Structure 1
Amino acid sequence: MAVQSGTYKGVSAADRAADRRRRLLDAALSVWADPDQRTTMTAVCRAAGLTERYFYESFGGLDEVLSAVVEEVGSEIESTTLAAADAAGADPAARITAAVAAFVDLLVADPRKGRVAIIEAAALPGLRARRTQLLRHFAHLAAEEAQHHAARRHEDELAGLLFIGGMAEVVTAWLEGALDVAPEEVVATASRAYLGLYPT
């Protein structure tokens, strides 16, 4: 649907459309992460306080808004962890600990993000392949991080998959309440695992 032109109460049509899209994304995150709710377009619209007309202004269907949520969460995880690693300096142990801590802090602050990206996306055929791609992308980033102190490229990629796959399983168990540990324990254990896979 085309965005209407014109300004209303000092707000442009483009800004109003952007605000509605933001509300729909936030609503989709909340509805999708709630195991007691069925994720439907109607539920997302209700949570956003918008009609289906405005839903179709931004998204072609339910799969599209859920895909946008996954992409947004994946981008946030990447930017947050990379920034934390860079801020930690050059020491490999300090960098990986900072990156894992930033990731865990993000999940503690908003568990919904981990649930939709790691748990719920795996249950939807339309998003399962993209979830796999994202996990492999993060595995590649883990391998890249180790390049300055490990030179076995193919082994690095394999170790990255082991690390990220393991993290995904830990996060799944943690968010579902099957793993009762403090965030600090997750950070410490994950950091040791990474350094074991990529010894300095």
Structure 2
Amino acid sequence: MTAAYTLYAKPGFSATTIERLCSEARISNRAFYECFGGREELLQALHERCVEESLAVVAKALQDAPQTLDGRIGAGVRAYMEFATADWRRARIMHLEVRRSGDVLAASRQRAVSSFARLVEEASAEFPQAAKIDRHLLALGVIGALQELLIEWILAEEPTELEELIQVAVHICGRALGAS
């Protein structure tokens, strides 16, 4: 999985063969197939691990945040952006390779989006200013905005400073959810 974490991030899933994975991991092809049905299954396992870790980090940040809408937005966005960008491989797998892999991760990606949407909905549920429109659709829109910001950060020759990225993401989420 360590070899795939690096290779699937760069050069990317489509450019990574099983032979290259096995060579990098110093295992035989047979050993690989004893663990995974194919490179798609390995990518799914990596993606799901990244998502689970991200969800745990964000849930903890929301739990520890000031119990205001502003506090929850700031803590949740910061936790996610810092975690996603702390390891370039994680950021690439979660935000680029998940799209580039075609149908391979479609179901896994949808489960991830649904899980993050639930977090956004729950974190804003008790605040009446966030209830004026469909909370689920609003959560999906916020998630999409954060994903696009991270894709821009990943692909930029000169990436935006993390603090500026967080500031923009908090602003977008705050405006969308009705924070002050």
What is the TM-score normalised by the length of structure 2? 0.88
Corresponding position of 1:22: none
Quote how far apart the aligned CAs of 1:152 are.
3.2
TM alignment of 1:48-197, pairs within 5 A: 48-124=25-101, 125-150=103-128, 152=131, 155-177=134-156, 180-197=159-176
Quote how far apart the aligned CAs of 1:70 are.
0.5
> Matched residue pairs, number?
176
CA distance in 2: counterparts of 1:36 and 1:130, whole angstroms: 18
CA distance in 2: counterparts of 1:58 and 1:184, whole angstroms: 40
Quote how far apart the aligned CAs of 1:104 are.
1.8
CA distance in 1: counterparts of 2:157 and 2:124, whole angstroms: 31
Of structures 1 and 2, the one scoring higher in RCO (CA 8 A, sep 6+) is 2
SS state of the match for residue 139, structure 2?
helix
CA distance in 1: counterparts of 2:118 and 2:151, whole angstroms: 21
In the superposition, relative to structure 1, how do residues 42 and 115 fare at CA in structure 2: closer, same or farther (>3 Å)? Answer: same
Corresponding position of 1:27: 3
TM alignment of 1:34-49, pairs within 5 A: 34-35=10-11, 38-49=15-26
Quote how far apart the aligned CAs of 1:115 are.
0.6
Quote how far apart the aligned CAs of 1:154 are.
6.0
| 1:129-182 per-position Cα deviation (integer Å, ceiling 9, x unaligned) | 321332233123212211010363861111101100011111111101167321
Alignment gaps of 5+ in structure 1: 1-24
Quote how far apart the aligned CAs of 1:91 are.
2.3
Give the residue type in structure 1 aligned to 2:144.
Answer: G
CA distance in 1: counterparts of 2:86 and 2:127, whole angstroms: 32
What is the TM-score normalised by the length of structure 1? 0.80
Alignment gaps of 5+ in structure 2: none
Quote how far apart the aligned CAs of 1:36 are.
7.1
Give the residue type in structure 1 aligned to 2:118.
Answer: H
CA distance in 2: counterparts of 1:180 and 1:59, whole angstroms: 35
SS state of the match for residue 34, structure 1?
helix
CA distance in 2: counterparts of 1:136 and 1:36, whole angstroms: 25
Quote how far apart the aligned CAs of 1:44 are.
1.4
Q: CA RMSD in A?
A: 2.0
* 8 Å contact kept, 1:173–1:179: no
Determine which structure has the larger helix proportion and give its number: 2
After TM superposition, the runs of 4+ consecutive aligned structure 1 residues lying more than 6 A away are: none
CA distance in 1: counterparts of 2:7 and 2:99, whole angstroms: 16
More off after superposition, 188-197 vs 69-78: 188-197
Give the residue type in structure 1 aligned to 2:40.
Answer: D
CA distance in 2: counterparts of 1:179 and 1:155, whole angstroms: 37
Rg comparison, structure with higher value: 1
Percent of paired sites with the same residue = 28
In the superposition, relative to structure 1, how do residues 109 and 188 fare at CA in structure 2: closer, same or farther (>3 Å)? Answer: same
